[in-house]
A and B are shown apart, each in its own frame.
Chain A
Amino acid sequence: MSETVNLATVKVGDEAPVLTHTLTRTDLVRYAGASGDYNPMHHDEPKAIAAKQPSVFGHGMLSMGIVGTALTHFVGVGTLQTFSVRFARQTWPGETLSTKIVVTAIEDGVVTFDVRLHNDAGEEKVLGQATARLGA
């Protein structure tokens, strides 16, 4: 694992290492199984097309989960205090998704982050905030 950030050196404006991933239908099937979310919009292409979608699309919680992975790798397991997002857009197989996690405040040992997931065109998929209580 990469080194996690610590309170002694963290600064407003610091960014977490970017996690980038090109989404596949297999990712959606794996997330469906691991989460227990079998909404057919995420794995059944004929049903998704019948519902006027161009293809199956990713679970919003998979997007949040990918952001959570990048965030945890940066702050360390067990340090998060809060993590919240708004789901702005669907994700599609073939899209390359990247995390963007920026330190926005540091107060009383608690670090606040702006968190996002976007595609190569800069379209934001999820955006939100997290706070973590970091070690010294």
Chain B
Amino acid sequence: MDEATRTAFIGTEIGRTTVVVERSAVSFFAQAVLDDDPIYNDGTVATAQGFAGIPVPPTFPFVMQNWGAYRELQPADGNGTGLAQVLGALMANGGLILHGEQAFAYHQPIVTGQTLTGVTVLRDIYVKESKGTTMTFVVSETTWSDEAGTPMATATFNIIHRI
């Protein structure tokens, strides 16, 4: 991918997904990250702690687009394929994609029953050459907001393509 193509992506929206935060998905995910806190499996525990629904484990926002992203919920201008296009262009000549870093900022508690929209913006894309290896760094940021537009969480995804 040449520099002009890369630069053209920076700051652009590369994906938009609407999801329902569902109880079974949250409960299953908590088990998978070895979290036995009853709050993920018992609505009365969540209510007693002041949550409007069952809260989600801290890394759940990373996987939300894989759960409850029903077709009729998707925005008419939706485009969930932007990151796939960037990665597809990078992988056209092979190579390996690695997850370099991951960050979350939490604004409001995400709880089951909410319908959230995640908007992904490409924050940066740059190349480093080292010992005959070309590494392309791609930084994308997804902000999840509720139906009133209140931001709930921001997830920053840094990936490295190495060839």
Contacts and interface: CB of A to CB of B under 8 A. Distances in A.
Binding between chains A and B: yes
Interface of A: 1, 19, 21, 27, 30-31, 33-37, 60-62, 64-66, 68-69, 71-73, 77-78, 80-87, 128
A36 B35 CA distance: 18
B137 interface: no
B63 A34 contact: yes
Contact of B35 (A64, A72, A86): A72
Contacts of A65: 32-34, 57, 59
Contacts of B47: none
B58 A71 contact: yes
B102 A80 contact: no
Interface string B14-54: 00000000000100110111110111000000000101000
Interface stretch (B78-86, B103-111, B125-133): B103-111
A64 B102 contact: yes
Contacts of B106: 80-83
A83 B101 CA distance: 11
Contacts of B31: 30, 34
Contact of A72 (B37, B63, B101, B105): B37
B102 A35 contact: no
Interface in B101-158: 101-106, 109, 156
B45 to A, nearest CB: 9
Contacts of A81: 105-106
B33 A69 contact: yes
Contacts of A71: 58
Nearest to B28: A34
A78 B29 contact: no
B32 A83 contact: no
A61 B59 contact: yes
Contacts of B33: 31, 34, 62, 65-66, 68-69
Contact of A36 (B34, B57, B66, B100): B66
A32 B58 CA distance: 17
B67 interface: yes
Contact of A87 (B37, B49, B98): B98
B17 to A, nearest CB: 12
A21 B34 contact: yes
Given A60-B99, A62-B32, A83-B103, A1 B57 contact: no
The 4 closest A-B pairs by CB, nearest first: A36-B66, A65-B33, A84-B103, A34-B32
B9 interface: no
